[in-house]
Structure 1
Amino acid sequence: MFEQAYEKFMKDHLHRRTGERLRRLKQGHQYGEKLLLEHVWYPAFGHFEKLHPEYEVRDFRSGVRYLDAAYVHDGFRIALEADGYSPHYREISRDMFADERDRQNDLVIDGWRILRFSVDRLKQQPRDCQRRLQQLMGKCLGEWEMQKGLGLEERELVRKAMRLGGMIKIADAQECLGVSDRTAQKWLQVLLKKRILIPHSGRTRIHSYLLVSNQYGMLLD
């Protein structure tokens, strides 16, 4: 079952690609990458819909990098990496070591969710890897559903609060929406009633609010 689905999956992507993206798929998708799909992704979900092998991304320095696999959904993106233990990691230079960390940091800043598995773990404990992937997928889908339930102004205020470290004041809401003090309070009260915000300061009149949970960070994507 897997081999047939995998063969079709790879043929479809090989057919769509040209140039460097095609070369990278032919050369970069090897043992560890296939193991990731065979032992984790396919047993967890039974299909390859919205999954892309050797997915091209651009970093903040205008460089091109490739992910082993990427799940690209309308509301979120998950990067999957299979890391083999080899002499390469013992002999890597300090600059290359730093560059690999920068690469992952850039992905996080750009809104990616990332899961990295060692090849040994993929072979020896595939169920544990599947569980982690399913948990992350469930979390992302839940956040996406929550996002769809918010109006434009509400989403903008949540984004603003996240950028301010989780706290938002009435003046911040005014600036964000370009509205009056009274209208800003109204929208903050809407989020308060939905239990997305809680009061932070003020008794008779709330002056600032806190996000209930950092789960709403997905709205920044």
Structure 2
Amino acid sequence: MSDMLFQKAYDEWMSRVIRHSQGERKRRLMEMDSYNEQLLLKNLWWPALGSFDHLHPEWEVSDFKDGQRFVDFAYMPFGLHRGLILEADAYGTHLRDVSRFRFGDNLERQNHLLMDGWHMLRFSRDDLLEKPKRCQQTLLAALSAWAYGAGSEAPQLTLYERAILHWIGRHNSEIKPVEIMAALKIGFTQASVNLQSLESKGYLRSTRSAQGKAMSYLVLPKTQRIN
């Protein structure tokens, strides 16, 4: 179920990103390293946050010397300016097989980006495969420490809860439990339990019948949430 939710969200997101890209970035997106970068998304980003909002793959940045660089992912929840850079590094690609010049250039690139105000997290392919929970904890701790606003929310939500919020957010309308059942291919009990949990956490507000039965749900704006 989790793989299916990820793949569906990933395909929709990448299709949208490619459609709105051009030039060198679009070429890079079309040829993107499907293993390392999808691994970062599948084992790190999606389990921790459950959404690709404000995340930009193959993002072009200007470094400290006004050189143009591409990074694996840039997370910019506050608009198109400085944010968090995330990269997935395979041992063979980034160490064993690079020239001395390329190795030094990679270090200089990172230093310039940090001096220019970017935050950066880099994860090895081995850790993403073997220690994904630790990587997720590092990401959430960094988001909290650097005041990106996502670190305190994400651990409270289950996979189904994040999937429900993602689906409701895309449709931007009041929804019924039966619609969640159809969209996520889950039973009535699973849908009801997670919708009620989201309401208790302050993410949703239900509309109820005269008998008190929840008929539909609407996402609450952040300013109205209780947590």
Give the TM-score of the pair, scaled to structure 1: 0.61
- CA separation of 1:111 and 1:121: change in aligned 2, threshold 3 A: same
Amino acid at match of 1:44: A
Shift of 1:87: 5.9
Matched, 1:30 2:37: no
The code of the aligned residue for 1:137 comes to L
Q: Structure 1 residues 87 and 34, CA, compared in 2 at 3 Å: closer, same or farther?
A: closer
1:95 corresponds in structure 2 to 101
Query: What is the identity, as a one-letter code, of the residue corresponding to 1:52?
Result: H
Q: 103-112 or 71-80: which moved more?
A: 71-80
> Counterparts of 1:13 and 1:38 in 2: how far apart (Å)?
17
Off by >6 Å, runs of 4+ in structure 1:
none
Larger Rg over CA atoms: 1
Q: Verify: 1:120 aligned to 2:102, yes or no.
A: no
Deviations 1:192-213 (A, max 9, x none): xxxxxxxxxxxxxxxxxxxxxx
RMSD over equivalenced CA pairs, Å: 2.0
Segments of structure 2 that go 5 or more residues without pairing to the other structure are 150-227
- In structure 1, the residue matched to 2:11 is 7
Q: Distance in 1 between matches of 2:55 and 2:93?
A: 30
1:140 alignment partner AA:
W
- 1:79 aligns to 2:94 (yes or no): no
Structure 1: 5+ residue stretches without partners: 144-221
TM-score by length of 2: 0.59
Q: 1:29·1:54 contact (CA, 8 Å) conserved in 2?
A: no
Distance in 1 between residues matched to 2:28 and 2:52, nearest whole Å: 19
Distance 1:26 1:58 in 2: 22
CA distance in 1, matches of 2:94, 2:137: 29
DSSP-derived class of the 1:2 partner: helix
- Distance change in 2, residues 1:11/1:127 (3 Å): same
CA distance in 2, matches of 1:115, 1:105: 13
Task: Give the secondary structure class of the aligned counterpart of 1:86.
Answer: helix
Q: Identity over aligned residues, as a percent? A: 43
1:46 to 46, 50, 71: 50
Larger helix share, 1 or 2: 1
Give the match's secondary structure for 2:47. helix
CA distance in 2, matches of 1:95, 1:66: 18
